[in-house]
Structure 1
Amino acid sequence: MLFQLTLAGLLTVAAASPVAAPVTPVRRQAATLCDQYGYYAANGYEFNNNNWGKGAASSGSQCTTVQSTSSSGVSWSTNWNWQGGQNNVKSYANAGKQFAKGLVIANIKSMPTNIQWDYQPRDIRANVAYDVFTAADPNHDKSSGDYELMIWLARIGGVYPIGNKVTTVNVAGYSWDLYVGPNGSMKVFSFIPSDGSWKLSFNADVKQFFNYLAQNQGYPINNQNLIVFQQGTEPFTGAAKYTVNSYSASINV
Structure 2
Amino acid sequence: MSRTWKIATAVVATLAASFAAVPSASAATWQSSDKFGSWSNGGYTVRNDVWGGGAGPQTIWANSYSNFGVWANHPNTGGVKSYPHSAKNIGKRISALGTLTSNFNVSRPGSGAYETAYDIWAGNNGYEIMLWMNKQGAVGPIGSKQTSASVGGHSWDVYKGSNGSNQVFSFIRTGNTNSGSVDIKAVMNWLKSRGWMGDETMGEVQFGFEITSSSGGLNFTTNSYSVTSN
User: Per the shorter chain, which TM-score range?
Assistant: 0.7 to 0.9
Match of 1:149 among 118, 121, 129: 129
| Equivalent runs, 1:94-105 vs 2, <5 Å | 94-99=85-90, 101=91, 103-105=92-94
Asked if 1:204 corresponds to 2:193, the answer is no
Separation in 2 of the partners of 1:91 and 1:209?
A: 25
| Equivalent runs, 1:1-253 vs 2, <5 Å | 29-53=28-52, 55-57=53-55, 60-69=56-65, 74-84=66-76, 86-99=77-90, 101=91, 103-120=92-109, 122-135=110-123, 140=124, 145-194=125-174, 197-220=175-198, 222=199, 224-238=200-214, 239-252=217-230
Residues 84 and 208, structure 2, Cα contact 8 Å, conserved in 1: yes
Separation in 1 of the partners of 2:178 and 2:95?
A: 29
Separation in 2 of the partners of 1:98 and 1:109?
A: 16
Gaps of 5+ in 1: 1-26
**Which ranges of 4 or more aligned residues in structure 1 deviate by more than 6 Å?**
none
TM-score (ref. length: structure 1): 0.76
Gaps of 5+ in 2: 1-25
Q: State the AA in 2 paired with 1:37.
A: F
Separation in 2 of the partners of 1:147 and 1:230?
A: 14
Cα displacement (A) at 1:68: 3.0
Separation in 2 of the partners of 1:97 and 1:218?
A: 24
Separation in 2 of the partners of 1:225 and 1:172?
A: 19
Cα displacement (A) at 1:77: 0.7
